[in-house]
Amino acid sequence: MTPDPDQHVSLGEMYSDYFLDYASYVILERAVPHLGDGLKPVQRRILHSMKELDDGRYNKVANLIGNTMKYHPHGDAAIGDATVNLGQKDLLIDTQGNWGNTLTGDGAAAPRYIEARLTKFALEVLFNPKTTAWTPSYDGRNKEPITLPSKFPVLLAQGVEGIAVGLACKMLPHNFNEIIDGCIAALRKQSFELLPDFPTGGIMDASDYRDGLRGGKVRVRARISVEKKNLLRITEIPFGTTTGALMDSIVAAGDKGKIKISKIEDNTAEHADILVYLPSGSDAETTRDALFAFTDCEMGISPNGCVITEGKPKFMGVSEILKASAFQTRDLLEQELKIRLAELNEKWHFSSLEKIFIENRIYRDIEECETWEAVIKAIDDGLKPFKKLLKREVTEDDIVRLTEIRIKRISKYDSFKADEEINKLEEAIAETEKNLGQLTKFTIRWFKDLQKRYGKGRERKTEIASFERVDRTQVVAATETLYLDEKGGFAGYGLKKEKPVEKCSTIDDIIAFTADGTMKVVKVAEKVFVGQRPVHVAVFRKEEDLIYSMIYRDGRDGPLLAKRFRVGGVTRDKDYDLTPGKKGTRIFYFAVHETEEASNDQMLVVHIKPALRLRNLSRPFHFGEQAIKGRGSRGNIITKHAVDRIVRAPKDFELEE
């Protein structure tokens, strides 16, 4: 007995099969565009439905949605959203009414209030029933295209985003004219580079684009100009955000104390126009950098080129997609030329046959015929002397067509006009054969003509530039004060009753040194523990090349040592020993200097505790004699005697020879 394939051994196997079926459906039929036309199934069905209803006039979107549901078995809301998304891209759909605003994020009006029709561009590059492969719709009542015969890389021009099961697709939009230039370069086998171009404009750093493949990234900035001393104007925003979301991010950064603003206004209409007012005393250039660092004025976008080809998903870069599309266009144009050539040859054949039939009065040979077979034979016999003038054999269907010529046409037949028409057909045939013989040149001319007719007004909007990432620590507004609780060993900007240290921001780090010779770096907070008996607490700035001077006792009874060092790289929240770490270690002296010269000027006096046979209890020490080393160095011994205290030497103090 043959096992039933629908029977599963276990519940786990059943769900495994069902999940794979569902995952395949989502990938192939919902989320990922096809390489052939650059469209997801819902987009293809919408456009096919619009072509089906096309009569040159606008159709209500509600009507388009209803008609599309014959092909797309999903809810009307999903189809409506996809239609609006296509219309907002301003390439394939000619819109009328309130279709929303991609700058502000405002939604479109209800489908019953807005209208649409296909653009002339879409009609020219997407549709040709003679080169379309068809498949039955989901219920078998209609036919729908497997893919539209696209002669333009719609996917690269519009961009698309979709999330499937286990993979995602994110194709960024590219410039219309640059796409055509790239197609021409690909056909000529020349090198080219294609970079994104966003409808919202902005400034883009695409140095890490990686041809749109996984792992690549582009950074896009808003265009911000300094209008006045205390006024910034945003006229272009990054792709993927809206003016409302951008303003919210600016306000949020202001509330967190990362930037200082006094007011923000949105005057956006057709173009973005946001005014950012700064408080008195603010630096406009620094604030602009802070907007890039802490708000959506700079955004990173990660592309992920994924398409359906040969019935499965494939990750492809934009240059590979462009080449495939360019050569697909050439193949489609070849098919169209061959179809046209066949039609022209067929028209020439029958026009020539008709001319022979009428001019040689072959129609008179059938006057005495009594049967249909006799009529066919009489015409065929009459044509025999002229068959060598034709390009193909005369079929019975040809003879049947001759019998259908009306007497009125025969009586008014004009041989001169017939010769003119045949000559025009011969010229068209010759031109078509020439184009087929020079197919690549013909395709390049076709692309240039397309650019000439539709490329105007589609100039690049996003400026290509290279810019460094803004160091957040350099531009953040220092709106808080760091306080130190010396007794408890806590620091933070929330300890307002304790000792103030210096101004800080909420993203700063704190460096703390304690009396037992340990150091650590922690993130600033309202209150954070920095260690018992801190001897130095400050905001840690990596870019500052500070020199630290320290004198400590190694253990309870060990010698007194001195060291000068730089901190170098550190890990946050890790304790670092600046001494050998013996129990009872104590720091007697600690100082910080910005330059080596200032550090060299330290002149100290070390006071030693009285002891038997010890006469000189005060000894000078000059830090300039100590080499600057790493924080892990042990240091140099000053004395092995017990030390009472260390003080700075008076200005008139002279070092004894």
pLDDT at 1: 43
Residue 545 within any structural domain of the chain? yes
pLDDT at 123: 97
Residue 332 within any structural domain of the chain? no
242 in the same domain as 181: no
Dump the DSSP string for 573-632. Answer: T--EESS---TT-EEEEEEEESSHHHHHT-EEEEEEPP-TT----EEEEEGGGSPEEETT
User: What is the CATH number for 34?
Assistant: 3.90.199.10
pLDDT at 656: 43
Total of domains in the chain: 4
Token look-up 């005057």 returns: 267
Of 406, 437, 468, the residue that ends a domain is: 437
Q: What is the residue range of 388's domain?
A: 339-437
What is the residue type of 615? R
Query: Is residue 25 predicted with pLDDT exceeding 80?
Result: no
By the 10 Å C-beta count (0-12 exposed, 13-18 middle, 19+ buried), 175 is classed as: buried
Pairing of strands 636-639, 560-566: antiparallel
Phi and psi, residue 583, nearest 5°: -65, 135
186 in the same domain as 41: yes
Pair of tokens at residue 178: 């640059």
Q: What is the mean pLDDT of residues 292-306?
A: 93
379 in the same domain as 296: no
229 in the same domain as 125: no
Residue 466 within any structural domain of the chain? no
26 in the same domain as 114: yes
Cα 578 to Cα 563: distance, rounded to the nearest angstrom = 10
Dump the DSSP string for 157-223. Answer: HH-EEEE-SS-EEEEPPB-HHHHHHHHHHHHTT------B--TT--EEEEEE-GGG-TT-EEEEE-E
Residue 444 within any structural domain of the chain? no
Pair of tokens at residue 6: 């629908």
493 in the same domain as 379: no
Query: Which tens digit of pLDDT belongs to each residue from 361-386?
Result: 988 888 888 899 999 999 999 999 99
19 in the same domain as 118: yes
pLDDT at 655: 45
Of 301, 323, 353, the residue that ends a domain is: 301
Residue 201 within any structural domain of the chain? no
Query: Is residue 224 predicted with pLDDT exceeding 50?
Result: yes
Q: How far is CA 90 from CA 73, 83, 85, 466, 604, in A?
A: 26, 12, 10, 29, 77
Query: Which tens digit of pLDDT belongs to each residue from 227-262?
Result: 988 999 999 999 999 999 999 999 999 888 888 899
126 in the same domain as 224: no
433 in the same domain as 381: yes
DSSP assigned state of 419: H
User: What is the CATH number for 581?
Assistant: 2.120.10.90
Dump the DSSP string for 339-378. Answer: HHHHHHHHHHHHHHHHHHHHHTTGGGGGTT--SHHHHHHH
Query: Which tens digit of pLDDT belongs to each residue from 201-216?
Result: 999 999 999 999 999 9
Query: Which tens digit of pLDDT belongs to each residue from 475-513?
Result: 777 778 899 999 999 999 999 899 999 988 888 899 999
Q: Which helix (H) or strand (E) holds 494?
A: none
Residue 98 within any structural domain of the chain? yes
Long-range contacts of 430-438 (CB under 8 A, 24+ apart): 432/337, 432/340, 432/341, 432/344, 433/341, 435/337, 436/334, 436/337, 436/338, 436/341
**24-28, 29-33, 425-429, range with greatest mean pLDDT:** 425-429
311 in the same domain as 292: no
Inter-residue contact 46 to 64 (CB < 8 Å): yes
Query: Is residue 6 predicted with pLDDT exceeding 80?
Result: no
Tell me which residues are annotated as active site. 113
What residues have CB less than 8 Å from 19, skipping those under 6 apart? none
Residue 202 within any structural domain of the chain? no
The neighbour count for residue 433, using CB atoms within 10 Å, is 14
State the pLDDT confidence band at 18, using cuts at 50, 70 and 90: low
User: What is the CATH number for 255?
Assistant: 3.30.1360.40
634 in the same domain as 500: yes
Residue 81 within any structural domain of the chain? yes
280 in the same domain as 310: no
Q: Which helix (H) or strand (E) holds 260?
A: none
